[in-house]
């Protein structure tokens, strides 16, 4: 959190086509995507290397850690704002996300304007 973060977005989703779709949406909104990751460990490595200001984080990821685990580690090591993007509406999952103090929460599929608003709100917080 000491050093300034880059003006870009990292996309984390284990579904390649969804990660690609989100990347296109972000680029369509004029933002730079610094990379995509499919697992929690990849996500942490990507964020630590690229230091993006914003991370779009899927909750369910391949591997034994999920997006919430990755978000905690990112919060502790880099300090990027993490916006969760979930397809799930299960109360337990949503509660876990809320406890993690996310910078935002979006449900799939995400509209352009929802993405834009969530990112500007996260940057302003």
Partner 1 sequence: MSIRDWLLNPSGLTPHGFCLSWSPSLISLHVASDVIVGLSYFSIPLAIAHFVRRRPDLKYGWVAYLFVAFILACGTTHFMAIVTLWVPAYGVEGLIKLVTAILSVATAVLLWPLIPKLVALPSAAQLGVRNQDLEQRVAERVAELEDLNAQLVAALQEKTEAQQAQAHSDAHFRASFASAAVGQVHYDPVSGRIIRANHAYAAMLGYEPEDLVGRLGSDFSYPDDKEPTAYARMVDGDVEGSAREKRYLRRDGEPVWGRASASLVRTPGSGEPLLAVAFVEDIDEGFKAQIALRQAKQDLEVVDSLLMMQARRLRDPEAKAGLETLRGRVYALGLVHHQLMGSKDLETFDIAPFLEELSRHLLEGGGAADVTLSVRAAPLRVGLDFAIPLGLLVTELVTNSMKHAFDGGAGAIEVALEEAEPGQMELRVADNGRGYDPVLTGGAAPSLGATIIAGLVSQLKGVLSISMNGGTCSMVRLPAPVQP
Cis peptide before 109 (omega within 30 of 0): yes
Shortest Å, Cβ 34 to partner 1: 20
DSSP state of 79: -
Nearer to partner 1, 4 or 91 (CB): 91
Q: Which of residues 83-122 bind partner 1 (CB under 8 A)?
A: 87-91, 107-109, 111, 113-114
Q: Are strands 33-37 and 81-86 parallel, antiparallel or unpaired?
A: unpaired
The verdict on 17 binding partner 1 (CB under 8 A) reads yes
Please pick, from the candidates 11, 12, 18, 78, the single residue that binds partner 1 as defined by CB under 8 A.
Answer: 18
Q: Are strands 6-12 and 52-58 parallel, antiparallel or unpaired?
A: parallel
Q: Binding mask 33-62 vs partner 1 (x if CB under 8 A, - otherwise)?
A: ------------------------------
User: For 20, what's the count of Cα atoms within 13 Å in the CB-facing half-sphere?
Assistant: 3
């Amino acid at each position: 959190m000491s050093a300034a973060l880059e003006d870009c977005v990292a996309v984390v989703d284990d579904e390649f086509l969804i990660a690609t779709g989100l990347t296109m949406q972000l680029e369509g909104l004029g933002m730079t995507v610094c990379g995509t990751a499919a697992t929690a460990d990849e996500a942490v490595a990507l964020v630590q290397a690229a230091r993006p200001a914003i991370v779009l984080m899927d909750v369910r990821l391949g591997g034994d850690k999920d997006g919430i685990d990755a978000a905690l580690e990112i919060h502790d090591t880099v300090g990027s704002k993490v916006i969760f993007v979930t397809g799930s509406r299960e109360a337990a999952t949503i509660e876990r996300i809320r406890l993690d103090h996310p910078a935002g929460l979006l449900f799939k599929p995400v509209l352009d304007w929802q993405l834009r608003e969530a990112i500007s709100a996260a940057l302003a917080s």
